[in-house]
Structure 1
Amino acid sequence: MHFVIMGCGRVGSTMASQLDSRGHSVAVIDQNPEAFRRLSSGFQGRKVKGVGFDRDALEQAGIDEAYAFAAVSSGDNSNILAARVARETFGVEHVVARIYDARRADVYERLGIPTVATVRETAEQMMRRVLPGVITREAEDPSGAVALVQPDVSEAWVGTSVAVLEERLQVRVAWLSRASSAIVPTASTILQEHDRLHVAVPTDRLPAVQRALSRPPVKEA
């Protein structure tokens, strides 16, 4: 598969080098040719000097044959513009843009442009490690109606089945992380100590779900 990446900073060069090492065709676009030095020494892909939303640069990078396009430069406006050009002008189906401003990220997600809000996601990950009771959003559908989250779960839920948790909280457990592995649970899967849940939740119920999981489960009469 062919991938086009705009921005050869730390993120872009890492992505490009990893994709290249896995045998994929890769093209990297950056205005500064010095940035290409960040690529791995064995990088076999294309290096295109230019702006990632310029048609000529994109065509040199092989955008017409691209399976996916990632805009990971240091500018929000450039990333969004490039992502829109890749999708709307060249019809690339798999497009993602890195965004620093979380408010913009939410707007563009609703317009159907997947984004990675780096500041928000980093802050949430850090908060999760220093403060109990914080719910970490891992993904959100473009409409904003459903989020995939990793909630903070009270140890009192250990021993509860996935079926009971889903029924009581009206959520869906997508998978759980256990030690160094991941498990797609069944209804009878029992929560163990130190399990980390990854749960699909309607966004309007996030506060209620986190409150419920941070407390012992209510015993049925």
Structure 2
Amino acid sequence: MNIIIVGCGRIGSTLVEELSGENHDISIIDEKAHVVQKLAETHDVLGVIGNGASYSILSDAGVETADIIIAVTNSDELNLLCCLIAKKAGRCETVARVRNPVYYDEISFIKEEMGISVVLNPELSAAYEIARLLRFPSAMEVNKFSKGRIEMLKYRIPHNSKLDGMTLIDVSNQLNCEILISAVERKKELIIPNGSFQLREKDIISFVGRPNCAMEFFRKIGERKNQVHEAMIIGGSKIGFYLSKLLVSSGIGVKLIDKDRDQCERLNESIPDAMIIHGNGNDHDMLLEEGLTDVDAFIALTNHDEENMFLSLYAQSQSDAKLVTKVQKLNYDAMIERLDLGSMIYPEYLTAQYIIQYVRARQNSIGSNIENLYKLMDGRAEALEFHIQKGSPVIGRPIKDLLLIDNLLICSIYRKGKPMIPNGQDHMEEDDLVVVVTTKKGLHDVKDILKRG
């Protein structure tokens, strides 16, 4: 596909890194010459220096033959204008990042009237992600497949867990839950396990299942953090605003703390059912006075990564609450995992992943059959969702008879609105959505899961 990316900040750079390895022809546009030059040289893409809302600049980037233009600059208005011009000039699909809450209730109008294919809001996406995590407080991460009917959850096995010492066959027979453990990280080693694999304390497992089955699994292994009733949010940013509205609408009590009095007054008017508190989240005495030890979830959403990390560390020392920490810099990932601070949220990275999923879905209509792809365990494994198309060599054959490549596991099959965890007797049919987990990189078609020969 021919793709133009306007704006080479965190989102744009992530898109270039991910998509340049997938056989696309990519052009990038940014006004910062050194940024364009570095990305163009590193990833072998066409770099154009200039304003992405200029027709001549878009033309230099190949807008007339582009399949998709993705506008992710820091300006909402510039992104919308880029897409509008590109739509008129090249009739391509258009994706725009729009962050301002002023447009929150106008997204449908903007898409319809301007003909924009996708409008994405990093802060709103992050709020939805956090809200989904709070449905499973014991999970470190939750990813969706099969139109939301199948989820993949990441979980660290704690001390004295019922899972410690159990084989995967034991998990199936004794717990009787429709989940499948698909990957295990143990002391930096990544394992695609078989039925005889024995779980241990401190293992980080990824498992798939329907949402209700995941809840049942957590309940049966004795995880008591199964529901959030009260949440404390530090930081009245855009994410804090969106998240508070989501949580309040689902019946969860919210205490939001921000040190900007004017912002507190605006939030109080916008979210009357939330408790808005003017104060400094770094004041530990105030956090205790406001009930830190009693809340079920603690979410650090200030504009400073280090502050969020220290806030979560303090909350961890005072409470058993589910921790969610907003981080902008991806290089903090390994540090936070070592500190065991629960779930990390990267707003820009999340938005980049949503855009990548959209690009893959569009590519699916012209040949590829990857619907979704998630990186697991720091990118050492991938969870891919394939759309099974007519004539595929995997159709109709029992899974046990398929000659699958090494280190690959078929995790779920979604057929005619019904998800299932397959066994060796099950088979795939045309139009199924099938999720696999593998350490093998570069799979583009479901036939790639089969050994050659």
Name the TM-score, length of structure 2 as normaliser.
Answer: 0.39
Could you tell me whether the CA contact under 8 Å between 2:404 and 2:451 is conserved in 1? no
Give the structure 2 partner of residue 66 of structure 1.
295
- Cα distance in structure 2, aligned partners of 1:161 and 1:79: 51
Within 5 Å, give how 1:112-191 maps onto structure 2. 112-113=340-341, 114-130=343-359, 136-137=373-374, 140=377, 149-150=383-384, 155=389, 156=392, 159=395, 163=399, 168-175=405-412, 183-187=419-423, 188=426, 190=428
State the secondary structure of the residue aligned to 1:124.
helix
Distance 1:33 1:157 in 2: 63
DSSP-derived class of the 1:107 partner: helix
CA contact (8 A) 2:298 2:315 kept: yes
- Matched residues in 1 for 2:292 and 2:427: separation? 45
Return 5+ residue gaps in structure 2 as ranges.
1-228
Change (3 A) 1:28 1:211: same
**Is contact 2:386-2:433 (8 Å) kept?**
no
- Of structures 1 and 2, the one with the larger relative CO (CA 8 A, separation 6+) is 1
Aligned to 1:47: 276
Aligned in 2, Cα 1:41/1:118: closer, same or farther, shift over 3 Å? closer
Kept in 2, the 8 Å contact 1:105–1:117? The answer is no
SS of equivalent residue, structure 2 residue 443: helix
> Does residue 83 in structure 1 map to residue 312 in structure 2?
yes
Structure 2 residue matching 1:92: 3-state secondary structure? coil
Instruction: Tell me which residue corresponds to 1:18.
Output: 246
Gaps of 5+ in 1: none
Taking the aligned partners of 1:176 and 1:12, their CA distance within structure 2 comes to: 36
CA shift for structure 1 position 167: 5.4
The aligned counterpart of 1:103 is: 331
User: How many residues end up aligned between the 2 structures?
Assistant: 210
Shift of residue 68, structure 1, vs aligned partner: 0.9
State the one-letter code of the partner of 2:305. Answer: D
Aligned equivalents of 2:376, 2:388: Cα separation in 1: 22
What's the offset of the Cα at 1:45?
2.9
Pair 124,45 (structure 1): closer, same or farther in 2 beyond 3 Å: closer
Tell me by how many angstroms 1:108 deviates. 0.8
Letter of the 1:183 partner, please give it. Answer: P
Provide, for residues 129-168 of structure 1, a one-character-per-residue CA deviation record: whole Å limited to 9, x for no partner.
336689743665xxx5976734566854763679457954
Distance 2:414 2:267 in 1: 33
Cα gap change, 1:4/1:170 in structure 2, threshold over 3 Å: closer, same or farther?
Answer: same
User: Could you tell me whether the CA contact under 8 Å between 1:49 and 1:57 is conserved in 2?
Assistant: no
Amino acid at match of 1:59: L
What does the per-residue CA deviation read over 1:58-117, in whole Å, with 9 as the maximum and x for residues that have no partner?
Answer: 224321101111112222111111111111x21234101111111112321232122112
Q: Is the 8 A contact 1:68 1:93 kept in 2?
A: yes
Aligned amino acid, residue 218 of structure 1 = L
CA distance in 1: counterparts of 2:335 and 2:429, whole angstroms: 36
Letter matched to residue 137 of structure 1: Y
Does residue 211 (structure 1) correspond to residue 443 (structure 2)? The answer is: yes
- Aligned-pair RMSD on alpha carbons? 3.7
TM-score normalised by L of structure 1: 0.72
Partners of 1:154 and 1:216 within 8 A in 2: no
- Whole-angstrom distance in 2 between the partners of 1:96 and 1:162: 42
193, 199, 217: which is aligned to 2:431? 193
SS of the aligned residue for 2:319 comes to: coil
| Distance across 1 between alignment mates of 2:304 and 2:398 | 42
Classify 1:59/1:192 alpha carbon distance in 2 versus 1 (closer, same or farther; 3 Å): farther
Question: Which residue identity does 2:354 align to in structure 1?
Answer: Q
- CA distance change for structure 1 residues 33 and 213 in 2, over 3 Å: closer, same or farther? farther
Distance 1:56 1:67 in 2: 19
2:325 counterpart SS class: strand
Task: Note if contact 2:233-2:301 (Cα within 8 Å) is conserved in structure 1.
Answer: yes
Tell me, yes or no, if the aligned pair for 1:162 and 1:173 is still in contact at 8 Å. Answer: no
Contact (CA 8 Å) 1:72, 1:79: kept in 2 or not? yes
